[in-house]
Amino acid sequence: MTVVISATGLYTPPESISNAELVASFNAYVARYNAEHAEDIAAGVLPALMPSSVGFIEKASGIKHRHVINKTGMLDVDRMVPDIPERPNEQLSLMAEVSIAAAKQAMARAGRDPSEIDAVICSCSSLPRPYPALAIEVQHALGAGGFGYDMNVACSSATFAIQNAVDIVRAGHGKSVLVINPELCTGHLNLRDRETHFIFGDAAVAVLVESSDIAPPGSWAILGSKLQTRYSNNIRNNFGFLNRCDPQWRDMPDKLITQQGRKVFKEVVPMVSEMILQHMAELDLKPTDLKRLWLHQANSNMNRLIAERVLGHEASQDEAPTVLDTYGNTSGAGSIIAFHLHSSDFKAGDKGLICSFGAGYSAGSIFVQKAV
């Protein structure tokens, strides 16, 4: 049985923040902190905080801009966290709302009615609650059939969920599976940390995974998928339901994203490159067979090195398109945003790679071929 990607959808928040705006807010916080703690800093009790800069952000990541769900709260020096009011249980949740926006676009592009959906998977780096599952809320609001469940593999949430969807179709549990990655990443971003304050943006994507016998023309055959995990603390977020049991540590910075960026770079680049090359060998694919790589959008330098190792030469923007410069790191959504925005020029028979990597460590590769 051939399983395909029938269509994708993308929700982009209307608000956005430039590096200059982010730096101005962060540096105002740094100046105030250093002034308030001047005596302890002078005595060596506390280290002075270092300011950020546009140049530092762009050199470290390649990010120039990010779309966000709420701008004013993030830039408010007295707050520095998105201003997102809690919604009552009877109202559609914010993450369901953005999920549905992306899902409706994907379904419209495939000509699919919600009643034809057999399963919904919501997969992202941070879920809004333990239960009921976000996917079931989305399923209900759409009027979809079958079943739904949530999953989390951080930055690899999309590729792992697509593999789950492929398995559902191949096992005969459904012919049309809606995979949604709602990534409201700024909610777990520490805007007071110089090393990470610039990383994330917000977005939601949807991927319709289906049996080829019901798929519309121009879909994408999934040639093969490969998943890999390797435990590491170098990207970590300790937020969880047991935090309330130890008030002393409940509001510490480790309840937001923390990372050792240099270690991540050094360890993830070879891990991902080797996985892709091994997967290509298993599928009897050569670098020249690939028209494009849609890589996880976290760091332009990482992507450049991975693409070079896979292709055997420095990749052009056409061969490995970048969206992180305008979207920031959108965790599991990033590679799908790249695929969604940079795949319309493919002709029947053209092949490409969707690849994710990040916290866990986790990595996923999905080779696709444009169908007739």
How far, in Å, CA of 208 to CA of 301, rounded? 30
The alpha carbon torsion through 334, 339, 340, 341 (nearest 10 deg) reads 90
Which residue type occupies 93? S
Cβ(1)–Cβ(220) under 8 Å? no
Token couple for 271:
């891990």
How far, in Å, CA of 132 to CA of 145, rounded? 17
The alpha carbon torsion through 33, 34, 39, 42 (nearest 10 deg) reads 150
How far, in Å, CA of 44 to CA of 38, rounded? 10
Q: Cis omega before residue 132 (within 30°)?
A: yes
Among residues 122, 155, 185, 355, which one is catalytic? 155
How far, in Å, CA of 241 to CA of 226, rounded? 31
Instruction: Tell me if residue 155 is catalytic.
Output: yes
Strands (E), the chain: 3-11, 15-18, 65-68, 119-123, 147-151, 176-184, 202-211, 220-229, 235-236, 258-259, 290-295, 351-358, 362-370
Catalytic residues, by residue number, are: 155
